[in-house]
Structure 1
Amino acid sequence: MRTTPPPAPEAHRSSPLWPNQLLATAQPQARALTAAYLHTLISLCPTDAHAPAYAQIVRSGHARRVLRRHASFLAQAARVPGPGPAGSVLARADQLAEYLDKLVTALPSHPGSMPRTPQAPGPVPEAWVEAEDDERILLATATAHPDDLVRMRWLHEGDFTIPLHAALFSSLTALARRGAPVDPITLLWEAQQRGLLRDGLGPAEILDLLAHPAGAPEHWGQKVLQRSLLQQASAVAARIEVLTADEATSVHQLATGSRRALSAVRGRWCQAIGPLAETPPSGWPVVPRAPAVRTPTARAGPRPRAPARPVR
């Protein structure tokens, strides 16, 4: 409409010459455009000089719908994990990040870009039987092989579904940072100093929890982290859906809030399976390094044991 000049007023009043020219010019780029919809656009455009502003309104609505669609894809990948659930979630997160980069480039920035929408409530971690077993084995195995903890700085308390397991893992890492001896007895003492033996929890229960190590701590840590990644992806999708549902949030605020919510999804998972997992953080004691676990299936079984020597 802005680039196609209208005909003379007499011709414009006598025949639909100009709408026909508009339709012929626009259809190669907008194949779904019809004459009826073109007349609707013309009749709803009160001031033709404001057409760029109207186009920006249309683009903003489109961006809001595309963001909501990306969020639904991310939530679906987190809810229905197939083989390699972390890879599916990260692939969806990368697609969303790529679209956000294009959106930020296409839209002009403005001050006050933080979204005003309240934070969406995150999903409540479910204490699945499998998750509980994985965390118990991780704690037992990390207690039996504490030297491996220096490569597991990517695992945090918030990744655990059971609060007691999270507190015991925090106690384990605290012992490792101090260079203190780590075994079930010292971990029990650390837990007692942190007040974990209250509310009816006794030493025998903690010692029983640590009694069955198996495999490598990194393997079980990656399983715990993967489950946390899926929950975090669901929280990010919910956050974006809340942002897009708030009409008072501008598109630039949508892009800013979505990028910040998405930035934490990939970081620690890449640390868990990438070369950064091999470098101990500052403040940790230096220990001989074993080869880092790269995939969740590596070193999953118990450590090999030497055959018993015959008794003479």
Structure 2
Amino acid sequence: MPQPTVENGELALDEIPPPPPVHYAEQALLGALLLDPHRLKTIGALLPEHFAGHSHKVLFAAMLGTPPPGPAEHTASPIWLNTLLDVARPEAPGLTVPHLHLLVQACPAPEHAAAYARMVRADHARRTLRRHAQQLAQAATDSSLPNPAIAVLSQADALSAVLEEMAGRFTPHPGSLPRTLLPDPAPRDTSEEALDEERMLLACATAYPAEVARMRWLQPGDFALPLHAALFHCVSTLAHRGDPVDPVTVLWEAQHRGLVVQDVPPAELMQLVVATPAGSPEHWGQLVLQRVLLAQARTTAIRVIAFTDDPANTPYQLLAGSRRTLADLTAVRVRWQRTTPSKPSAPGPRTTATPRAGPPPSAVTTARATR
């Protein structure tokens, strides 16, 4: 969506975006309550934070905290309205008597107050879902986190909790899946560091194939480079068959899978699996899978945000679409947790313990330097 132009510190008047539909729903609801305060008991569970507009939020909070008058008293005197203004003005100085009159005029049918309240709750659910998706995206891209996987899974749990709450408040209906065009998946990390980790995994896997046979939680599709994925598939296939595994047998398997072509000669393939191993396959496999987890978390986040940005989606469509895309992250999460059964379920302080299967830093540096 194009951003409005700012000139001399002010928005150009012809570019100020129009208010969203929920603005009118909030106005209509508040107008209905100003006309008939007793309708506060008929609109269901509604909190001030459910309102998008600040002044609307403050005014509704004042309504909840100020006992309404009886129907006859309210008709005869504006005392309740004046009290609302006195309570709300410290936080919303813009509220005035003419403003209250505008709210009343904006209500087409006070008897529809419960419907307006449902609209306010629905839009609040949309904004809440979007905020949690943004927090998930931030956790998946924050390189300063000491344990990004744990942070991402914590945010995923928070997003899942929001969806569970929505499921209890919004009724299913036909055509529940959103028709929003899904954004492309988040790009995989193909940095030199990521590719180095995959190369070290290939070298360690060739050197210690017995460990590879136990790493069923890692899949060829987890690799950022297709060639690395194909070579790992060769190693794991040999290991699962119980065949001998060394650089020559891996090359022979690679030939049968069509990997030996003019652009990738045998010597180059051999080089990828004969490097000096440092650490264990499990250690490097965990790092590879962690990058997959972070990438899937980014994909989940951008797709949930796309759902919430599409105003055509009903609350239940947001719920159904978000649950489906969150399931893809859960599938990776299950595999990740199989690799790290002793990891805590919530983020904790950084520790100085040495990774249980990792190589010393000098070994990694040496291995990368000799590539």
TM-score bin (small chain): 0.7 to 0.9
Distance 1:111 1:178, change over 3 A: farther
> How far did 1:55 drift?
1.0
Distance 1:171 1:6 in 2: 80
Task: Tell me which amino acid in the other structure corresponds to 1:68.
Answer: R
Task: Tell me which amino acid in the other structure corresponds to 1:84.
Answer: N
Q: Identify the match of residue 73 of structure 1 among 131, 135, 155.
A: 135
Cα deviation code 1:220-277 (max 9, x no counterpart): 00011111111111111110111111111111111221122123322221122128xx
Secondary structure in structure 1 of the residue aligned to 2:216? coil
Name the residue aligned to 1:216.
280
Greater displacement, 47-56 / 235-244: 47-56
Secondary structure in structure 2 of the residue aligned to 1:106? coil
Name the residue aligned to 1:166.
229
Distance 1:184 1:83, change over 3 A: same
Distance 1:57 1:181, change over 3 A: same
> How far did 1:199 drift?
4.4
Task: Tell me which amino acid in the other structure corresponds to 1:253.
Answer: Q
> How far did 1:213 drift?
1.5
Alignment of 1:233 with 2:297, yes or no, is yes
> How far did 1:205 drift?
0.8
Matches within 5 A, 1:194-273: 194-211=257-274, 212-265=276-329, 266-273=333-340
Distance 1:205 1:11 in 2: 86
> How far did 1:46 drift?
1.1
Name the residue aligned to 2:78.
16
> How far did 1:50 drift?
1.5
**Seq. identity, %:** 49
Name the residue aligned to 2:250.
187
Distance 2:302 2:112 in 1: 35
Distance 1:43 1:6, change over 3 A: farther
Greater displacement, 126-135 / 44-53: 44-53
Distance 2:165 2:354 in 1: 34
User: Scaled by the length of structure 1, what TM-score is found?
Assistant: 0.80
Distance 1:57 1:199 in 2: 62
Secondary structure in structure 1 of the residue aligned to 2:167? helix
Distance 1:11 1:142 in 2: 80
User: Scaled by the length of structure 2, what TM-score is found?
Assistant: 0.68
Asked which structure has the greater RCO (Cα within 8 Å, sep 6+), the reply is: 1
Distance 2:231 2:165 in 1: 44
Task: Tell me which amino acid in the other structure corresponds to 1:168.
Answer: L
Q: 2:189 touches 2:291 (CA, 8 Å); kept in 1?
A: no
Secondary structure in structure 1 of the residue aligned to 2:218? coil
Alignment of 1:133 with 2:133, yes or no, is no
Distance 2:327 2:227 in 1: 28
Cα deviation code 1:120-143 (max 9, x no counterpart): 111222321111110001011111
Size of the alignment, in residue pairs?
276
Alignment of 1:178 with 2:241, yes or no, is yes
Q: 2:149 touches 2:294 (CA, 8 Å); kept in 1?
A: yes
Query: Structure 1 unaligned runs (5+)?
Result: 276-294, 303-312
Distance 1:125 1:101, change over 3 A: same
Query: Structure 2 unaligned runs (5+)?
Result: 1-32, 34-38, 42-67, 343-352, 361-371
Distance 1:60 1:154, change over 3 A: same
Distance 2:232 2:278 in 1: 16
Q: 1:219 touches 1:296 (CA, 8 Å); kept in 2?
A: no
Name the residue aligned to 1:290.
none
Distance 1:301 1:215 in 2: 4
Task: Tell me which amino acid in the other structure corresponds to 2:290.
Answer: Q
Matches within 5 A, 1:102-113: 102-113=165-176
Distance 1:78 1:145 in 2: 31
Task: Tell me which amino acid in the other structure corresponds to 1:174.
Answer: T
Q: 2:185 touches 2:299 (CA, 8 Å); kept in 1?
A: yes
Q: 2:279 touches 2:359 (CA, 8 Å); kept in 1?
A: yes
CA RMSD of aligned residues (A): 2.7
Cα deviation code 1:180-215 (max 9, x no counterpart): 322222211111111111241011111111112221
Secondary structure in structure 2 of the residue aligned to 1:125? coil
Distance 1:32 1:145, change over 3 A: farther
Task: Tell me which amino acid in the other structure corresponds to 1:67.
Answer: L
Q: 1:113 touches 1:252 (CA, 8 Å); kept in 2?
A: yes
Secondary structure in structure 1 of the residue aligned to 2:168? helix
